[in-house]
Amino acid sequence: MEKTVKISPWQLLSLILVSRIAVALTYTGGAAGVAHGTDRMVSLVLEAGLLLLLFLPTLWYIHAAKGIGSLEYAYVQFGRGGAVVAVLYALYCLYIQCLDLMQFDHFASTAMSPDIPRVVLCIALVAAAFVAAFYGLEAAARTAAVVVFLMTLVIVFLGLSLIPDMKALNFPPLFYDGVAPVIEGALENLPRFLELGVMALLVPYVKGMSRGYSAGILTAAAVVLVMQVTLVGVLGDYSEMVTYPYYTAVTIAHSSMLQRLDILVAAIWLAGIFVKMAFMAVLFLGCLRQAFGDKLKILYVALGGAVVLVVGLILGDTLLAAEHGYLWLASTILLLAFSVVLPIVLLGANAVRVKRRKERGEAV
């Protein structure tokens, strides 16, 4: 991660959109029995509101830290102890990548083709993502901008081509079981956007962070809403009975002589997962370089890739049971720790440091 590199709010928006859509393409909430159908549409709006609310501590941090990233800020507050924060951030990035690889492994082997050489595919994906880490944040952001354009285009195109298969009868009534499923749905989906936790880290590298973040969250909510309308309109309540409802819905899409358009979903999803993992790999490498220097950067990348691969492949088969169980809990705790607690701790440490200096009569 080069300090001189700055990405625009639109590039941040692209990174957020890619991450959010890649997760939504393989959403399995229906199978878990949380908010579904029309209720999930409201859940998505509520979730966007919650993600904006959870950004407030980071926003507070951005204003207080005056352009310094949370990692540098930690070094200022804790001296060499800042390396602990760097390692924590690096582990957080690896955790996100492990989840992505588990999702990739599960989706590729259950929804696309059970015969697919999943181990080889996973190795190829992880290797590509970690090699991309050397190219830096700007390269990841530029790739994200291209991928997000294609993703949006494909989702809108598929939505339009599926209109003849959509029926009003397929939409379940809103709030039929009250508002509880809507709230549960929003909370269930919230820790799927773990990128919020690294926003404070990105402060020095993004121009107009808050603008890019809020636009990214709102645009992502709109795109995922289009996906939800599409899948409910086509499948109706059956969307709750299939593992990957959006993919199932698009398997019937065709336009003119073009058929089997589900391949488009597989392609954009693969591209999205790659960009998301590469983005996290860039941050992972950046954190370790800051903590331990540049010399062993290939070792960091190789070790990181190996950890993601081993964890992802071992836990991939247990994804469905785990993602609405302990993984949800772990992800929620981590999301709150990195997006709420860490900025507050850093600012609190600074306040204490300033107070002590003032008491000692030193210059602040």
Partner 1 sequence: MRTWFLLVAVLLGFVMIPSCREKSQINNRVVVTAVGIDDAAEEGCALSIQAIEALKIAGSLTNQEDNATGLYQTQGETVSSAMKSFVTQTGRNTYLMQNRAIVLSMDQIQKQPLQTTLDYFLRNTESRPGVYLAVSRGSPDEVLGIKTSSYTIPSEYLVTLLREGQRWGYSAGTTLLDAERAFSGMFDAYLPIVRVEGEGDDASIQMDGTAVFREGSFVGELNAEETRGLLFIQNAIEKGAVILEREEGPPVTLELQKSRTKISLERTGDTAAFTIRVTAKAEIAEESDGDSLAAGNLRELSRELEQSIEQEVRAAVEKTVMDYGCDVFGFGRRIMQKEPGLIRGEEDDWPQKLKECAYHIVVDAEIRSIGTDTGAKPNQVS
Residues in the site for partner 1, rule: CB under 8 A? 110-114, 117, 120, 123-124, 127-128, 131, 134, 165, 169-173, 176, 234-238, 240-241, 248, 251-252, 298
Cβ at position 271, least distance to partner 1 in Å: 18
CB of 146 to partner 1, least distance (A): 21
- Residue placing its CB nearer to partner 1 in the complex, 216 or 245: 245
The CA distance from 222 to 212, in Å, is 15
Measured from the CB atom, the residue of 116 and 314 that comes closer to partner 1 is 116
What values do phi and psi take at 206, rounded to 5?
A: -125, 130
Q: How far is the CB of 105 from partner 1 (least distance, A)?
A: 15
Distance of CA 269 to the CA centre of its chain: 13
Judged by beta carbon, residue 299 or residue 333, the one nearer partner 1 is 299
Distance CA 115, CA 118 (A): 8
Complex with partner 1: residue 30 or 343, whichever CB lies closer: 30
- Shortest distance (Å) from residue 251 CB to partner 1: 6
Under 8 Å between Cβ of 136 and 5: yes
Closer residue to partner 1 in complex, CB, 131/156: 131
Nearer to partner 1, 266 or 336 (CB): 266
Beta carbon of residue 252, minimum distance to partner 1 (angstroms, whole number): 5
Q: Which of 229, 175, 220 is nearest to 52 (CA)?
A: 220
In the bound state with partner 1, the residue whose beta carbon lies nearer, of 67 and 117, is: 117
Contacts of 28 (CB under 8 A, 6+ apart): 243, 244, 320, 323
| Closest among 318, 321, 324, 317 to 109, alpha carbons compared | 317
In the bound complex, what is the minimum distance in angstroms from residue 123's beta carbon to partner 1?
7
Q: Using an 8 Å Cβ cutoff, are 300 and 94 in contact?
A: no
SS3 call for 81: helix
Least distance between partner 1 and beta carbon 215 (Å):
34
The DSSP result for 168-228, as a single string, is GGGSPPTTTT-SHHHHHHHHHHGGG-GGGGGTGGGGGGBSSHHHHHHHHHHHHHHHHHHHH
End-to-end alpha carbon distance in the chain: 29
| Least distance from partner 1 to the Cβ atom of residue 337, Å | 33
Angle at 191 between CA 186 and CA 196, to 5 degrees: 110
Helical ranges in the chain per DSSP H? 9-25, 29-32, 37-54, 56-65, 70-78, 82-107, 118-132, 136-161, 180-189, 209-235, 245-250, 262-292, 297-315, 319-323, 326-336, 342-360
Nearer to partner 1, 39 or 72 (CB): 39
- Whose Cβ is closer to partner 1: residue 302's or residue 341's? 302
Report in angstroms how near the CB of residue 117 gets to partner 1 at its nearest. 6
The C-alpha atoms of residue 240 and residue 27 are separated, in whole angstroms, by: 11
Residue 281 to residue 305: CA distance in whole angstroms = 9
